[in-house]
Amino acid sequence: MSEDILQKIVRKRSEDIERLGLNFGIEIPASRRRGHVEFLGTPGAILEVKRASPSKGDIAPDLNPVGLATTYAEAHAQAISVLTEMNYFKGSLRDLIAVADAMEERAKQGLHACAVLRKDFLLFEDEIDIAYRCGADAVLLIARILDDEQLVKMAKRAQSFDMQAFVEVRETDDLRKLKLVTDALGDAAAKTIVAGVNSRDLATFHTDPLVPASVRNKLPAKAVFESGIHSGADAAYARSLGFTGILVGEAVAKNPPLAKDVVSSFENGRENARGQFWKKFAALRQAPALDNLARHCSSSHDCVGHLMHEQAPALDNLARHCEESSDEAIHKSSPMVKICGITREEDGLLATELGADMLGFVFSKTKRLTTEEFVRKFHRLLRSARNDVASNPEQAQRVEGSPLLVGVITDPNSEEGKIAIKLAREGVLDAVQFHGVDPHNSIDAASSNALPYYCAVRVGDAADFDKVEALRKNGEPRILLDAKVEGIPGGTGKQIPESLLREKAGDIPLWLAGGINPENVTTLYEKFHPELIDVSSGIEDAPGIKNHDKMKALFAAISTVK
């Protein structure tokens, strides 16, 4: 079995330590030359001194570490992360010493001085000592590369120097290790431990901004969103999830003036309804594959209850035993399913029984237009079914998110659009789908932050992907792609041309709509492996009237994909 990138980094680093020692042949100060600054003492941005990466190669090979650190400090970063791995990131302990000395000098002058993090693939306790003498206030400990005993020892060593241990987690087993560390440190853990979740898988270097969303509620109060931050909008998204810090590397190392925007966007942001939606979706995304029994139930109300009852222990089992990273597990599972254009109670209940992850209600003047009264009634019905099986608050929270209810709008200023937005703000709907309209241009920032939503783009040619790219730059973690047919906002029964998807979609997690039906869903999945499919006309007898046999056939077909 070939080595992944993380394994190569660790192996090469171990060889260098054997050859050069833990100081990598660099003269280390005999004692620490600066005071201590608490790492993430207040919420804020951690900006990185980074020359290169395994995935991008050279990023800023000629950077001046002190000059860049000064720019970061002047932007009021909370901390500076200094990469000291020399093979793949071209860092050095010399950079760490220089940045720490520069921060000490700023402190003496009464200027804002950042905490300093040593970021490396540390393997030994004595490396904590070296980091301390070099002036670091915190050290990165990657749970994935350290066994239980070593991780605890290294965290305790950091504590002995009054340093923070920045424990990076990503996989389910990492969370178990994090708990071991916090339990071992006891009351001191709250001050000593900062948890970080990397949106980038260090084994594959694939980045997914929903991975941090999926684990935020499982982390301590001080938690950092790592990687994948390229703009102020991305920083605001991370803040909306409730993170107390972000770690930004490539974007600011390549473009130092961006530091001010990233820092201010994060500091001015807050946890909000938009972030809550993405956390709910990310948790739902991690649920196990659709339950076979739930797919084939015949009694609508009983089946809703049975599905919820079966999912709760399955989720517990997943949390205990899954050892795959979040995105690896997801790519191996069947796609998530949104059934859109629900206008009848029986259709929504059957979709729920069959395992739909999201149900869409259209608030636009089409033949699938729904009403506020219908959606409120359906929401109450689902809540009643959930309460039937939720015998305690913890279980109620687990079953609460399936399926998510979404209001689809094409004009936020129309009466229909305003109703959907109102229902989402009240919590009757879990989110609003802005279909073919950019919320950043149609509603003010304060309103959008208070609203759980995602975006859909109608795609007919290559130029339409410019809209997708613009939304991604505005911090949207997922975007639904629907087939464009002029004059028809959705539910067209047409597919996006395959050649266009192959050329333009890239490796982004796909949400696909348009022309999906029981006959083509398996072929579509084999070709593009969408994370989510949105189905409407492909399972209808008429607009808004679902054919139950077709719905069952759709989910039966989905159950066969791998």
Pairing, β 57-58 against β 52-53: antiparallel
- Strands (DSSP E) contained in 111-222 are 115-119, 138-142, 164-169, 193-198
Split at pLDDT 50, 70, 90, the class of 508 is confident
- Percent pLDDT > 70 in the chain is 86
Give residue 314's pLDDT band: very low, low, confident or very high (50, 70, 90): very low
CATH code, 277-285+335-558? 3.20.20.70
Helix, strand, coil proportions of the chain in percent (round to 5)?
A: 45, 15, 35
Say how far apart CA 398 and CA 392 lie, in whole Å.
Answer: 10
Strands 453-459 and 358-362: unpaired
Q: What is the pLDDT of residues 136-155, one digit of tens each?
A: 999 999 999 999 999 999 99
> What is the Cα 111 distance to its own chain's centre?
35
Confidence of residue 399 (pLDDT cuts 50, 70, 90): very low
pTM, two decimal places: 0.87
pLDDT at 165: 98
Separation of alpha carbons 393 and 260, rounded Å: 42
What would the mean pLDDT of 249-258 be, rounded to a whole number? 95
Residue pair 108/68 in contact (Cβ under 8 Å)? The answer is no
The type of residue at 83 is L
pLDDT at residue 445 in the model: 59
**In the chain, domain spans:** 5-25+38-271, 277-285+335-558
Cα distances (Å, whole numbers) of residue 260 to 266, 376, 446, 488, 489: 10, 44, 21, 42, 39
CB–CB of 562/522 below 8 Å? no
Provide the pLDDT confidence category of residue 389 given band limits of 50, 70 and 90: low
Q: Which of 165, 139, 137 is nearest to 36 (CA)?
A: 137
Distance CA 498, CA 520 (A): 13
- Reported as a pLDDT band with limits 50, 70 and 90, residue 315 is very low
C-alpha Rg value of the chain to the nearest Å: 25
Of the pLDDT bands very low, low, confident and very high (cuts 50, 70, 90), residue 388 is low
Cα–Cα distances in Å, from 501 out to 18, 536, 552?
Answer: 48, 20, 27
Residue 484, pLDDT score: 86
Q: How confident is the model at residue 503 (pLDDT cuts 50, 70, 90)?
A: confident
What is the dihedral angle through the alpha carbons of 184, 187, 188, 191, rounded to the nearest 10 degrees?
Answer: 120
Which pLDDT belongs to residue 403?
Answer: 95
- Determine whether 482 is an active site residue: yes
Strand 540-542 versus strand 545-546 pairing type: antiparallel
Across the chain, mean pLDDT equals 88
Q: Is pLDDT of 281 > 90?
A: yes
CA angle 268, 412, 474 (to 5 degrees): 40
Tens-place pLDDT, residues 66-107: 999 999 999 999 999 999 999 999 999 999 999 999 999 999
From the candidates 174, 201, 327, 482, give the one annotated as an active-site residue. 482
Per residue in 530-549, pLDDT tens? Answer: 999 999 999 999 999 999 99
pLDDT higher than 80, residue 401: no
Return the pLDDT at 311.
37
- In 3D, which of 404, 412, 458 has the Cα closest to residue 436? 458
Q: Are 368 and 413 in contact (CB under 8 A)?
A: no
Residue 126 appears among annotated catalytic residues: no
Query: Between 273-285 and 232-240, two packed helices, what is the crossing angle to 10 degrees?
Result: 70
User: How many angstroms separate the CA atoms of 348 and 352, rounded?
Assistant: 6
Topology classification of domain 5-25+38-271:
TIM Barrel (3.20.20)
Of 101, 340, 357, 534, catalytic: 340
Q: Of the candidates 226, 274, 317, 219, which has an alpha carbon nearest to the alpha carbon of residue 452?
A: 274
